[in-house]
Structure 1
């Protein structure tokens, strides 16, 4: 016998088939309350629901509980390899609670508020944002709307929203210290966009790490974005305007690959003529020529921690920390070399 169309099957039908009270079915099918039901009863209810083809009525549940069990996630560039593992972490946390995740690719930040307004209309229970800019008015809007939200990969410098980030300054210190230990003294930086917290934090990290070593930044060029094309354009400007550095600290791996392109076109060898470092340790950078020395981040943990923090807020629990900072690590490959003996 085929299951009835799910739209005609009610929770009362499941209760009748399982031989239990309607309230028992309600608890058994509610991720927040199923722990109150014994394993034996839970199995009977789930089997009855499966045979009948029952699907929860999310709209009715939302009216009853005030929750839709959905969250929204906004990312700036879904093609950037940084974001899939962050999304995996978010989805793992959400799935464990029976939540559904809406993901939106915000290619133009001007579209962010209309997207958030649409998600509010869909009554999402909260948001994870990977798109925050510096002094972002969107953060104020979300706060005034009373929506639970957490930032990931980018923190709000004014502390208006909780955030889960990696330590950008420490990441750049690790890169600079590595290059200095190899004998490099004339070190340049391809910086991220200065309208986003990561771009500012990483540039400050490079500058501070050099000052700590008694050095100054040899040259810097700001990238328009965190892309290979932006890295290519910035590397061209850097070589055209400044004396060629011994090493370049890149704000991310895609930018480093853009730098590779320009250096290859100009016959400048990596690392024989110039050392290059990246940031993120995205997939396959160990397979480029030469394999890229970079900074590894716990991207999946970033997403998982952000979602956990969001669900704490949704469920009325105070977060253990307002900003969670995860530690990066240096991964040394073949794009950097020791020049100390040549000085």
Structure 2
């Protein structure tokens, strides 16, 4: 015979054990209203709720407030090392406000709208999007749905949605300036997909930096994705193209740079003696490859945090301080770049 389940602890039980009114407990346990409660009473209510094992009734709260205290996050590729720290930042900001995060990995852009419709049916309060192509109808779909939404790591070029991003053009300028200072003049670029805002921004950054140095336009090979395999294919194309071999290659991200490593090693070329390589993102372990990769470090966790904070401002009806938050990248110099051998 099964033992009877203990009765569920209610908000009234917490109020009785705390010696305060039910409405006080309600405010103390509501992230949107808890600032109205003194620190002493808030600590008392939270300790009592933990001791009694109180679990809030989210369904009832949603009916009462019109909010579910959940947000959705759409990621393009959860296996890409860029996105876990972004997600950590989002989750940290959400936890601080008592929100739960639904995460969807959208490998196929065609699935984005059905996934988003499902999230909307679950009554999420808002959305953080790390996906979206240039001129993507998904953005209009989000806006037309009336949902609060913020983009992260990618910005909508038309400004239809607020965003938290890194400065892609500055990132590429830092890489090019470093290579030019070493003495490189023939610089190529393995570019990201031109259907994605980051791919365009980084390519433009490389092109502008070389113009600023009065150097020839870069030889550019576009990758079809931000993957190691795409980097391998692009590096093969670059090596097989006519003309002098580049002295240095600026890669659109670290995975593409690792793909370039594979092809250069197979071709008997040494990094950086024969050709210098730079990456972008400073993903984990790129300091452990041979040679350690010179790359651009981004504040990925901060990007996620900022995007979530912008979303919560919108959910709570506050005016956004900025429609786009741009965080500054930094160059991390390691052993994959050196002066040209001839120098």
TM-score normalised to structure 2 length:
0.95
Matched with 1:101 is 101
Q: Deviations over 1:304-343 (max 9, x none)?
A: 111111111111111111111111111111111113x835
Matched with 2:262 is 261
Matched with 1:303 is 304
- Following TM superposition, the consecutive aligned residue runs of length 4 or more in structure 1 with deviations greater than 4 angstroms are 2-6
The 1:105–1:5 alpha-carbon spacing in structure 2 relative to 1, beyond 3 Å, is farther
Matched with 1:38 is 38
Matched with 1:335 is 336
Match runs of 1:259-338 below 5 Å? 259-338=260-339
Matched with 2:250 is 249
Tell me how far 1:220 sits from its aligned partner. 1.2
The 1:148–1:67 alpha-carbon spacing in structure 2 relative to 1, beyond 3 Å, is same
SS at structure 2 position matched to 1:128: strand
2-side partners of 1:256 and 1:218: how far apart? Answer: 17
SS at structure 1 position matched to 2:190: strand
Tell me how far 1:177 sits from its aligned partner. 1.1
SS at structure 2 position matched to 1:342: coil
Contact 2:190 2:223 in 1 (8 A): yes
The 1:329–1:44 alpha-carbon spacing in structure 2 relative to 1, beyond 3 Å, is closer
Match runs of 1:1-343 below 5 Å? 5=6, 8-243=8-243, 244-339=245-340, 342=342
2-side partners of 1:174 and 1:192: how far apart? Answer: 17
SS at structure 2 position matched to 1:68: coil
Tell me how far 1:92 sits from its aligned partner. 1.2
Tell me how far 1:138 sits from its aligned partner. 0.6
The 1:269–1:5 alpha-carbon spacing in structure 2 relative to 1, beyond 3 Å, is farther
Tell me how far 1:41 sits from its aligned partner. 3.4
1-side partners of 2:202 and 2:82: how far apart? Answer: 16
2-side partners of 1:270 and 1:153: how far apart? Answer: 30
Tell me how far 1:51 sits from its aligned partner. 4.0
TM-score normalised to structure 1 length:
0.95
CA RMSD of aligned residues (A): 1.8
2-side partners of 1:39 and 1:295: how far apart? Answer: 42
SS at structure 2 position matched to 1:156: coil
Q: How many residues align?
A: 340
SS at structure 1 position matched to 2:230: helix
Most deviating of 315-324 and 41-50? 41-50
Contact 1:3 1:52 in 2 (8 A): no
Question: Unaligned regions of 5+ residues in structure 1, if any?
Answer: none
Q: Deviations over 1:86-125 (max 9, x none)?
A: 1111111111111111111111111111111111001111
Contact 1:199 1:251 in 2 (8 A): yes
The 1:43–1:183 alpha-carbon spacing in structure 2 relative to 1, beyond 3 Å, is closer
2-side partners of 1:35 and 1:312: how far apart? Answer: 15
Tell me how far 1:33 sits from its aligned partner. 2.2
2-side partners of 1:98 and 1:105: how far apart? Answer: 23
Contact 2:207 2:218 in 1 (8 A): no
Most deviating of 257-266 and 16-25? 16-25
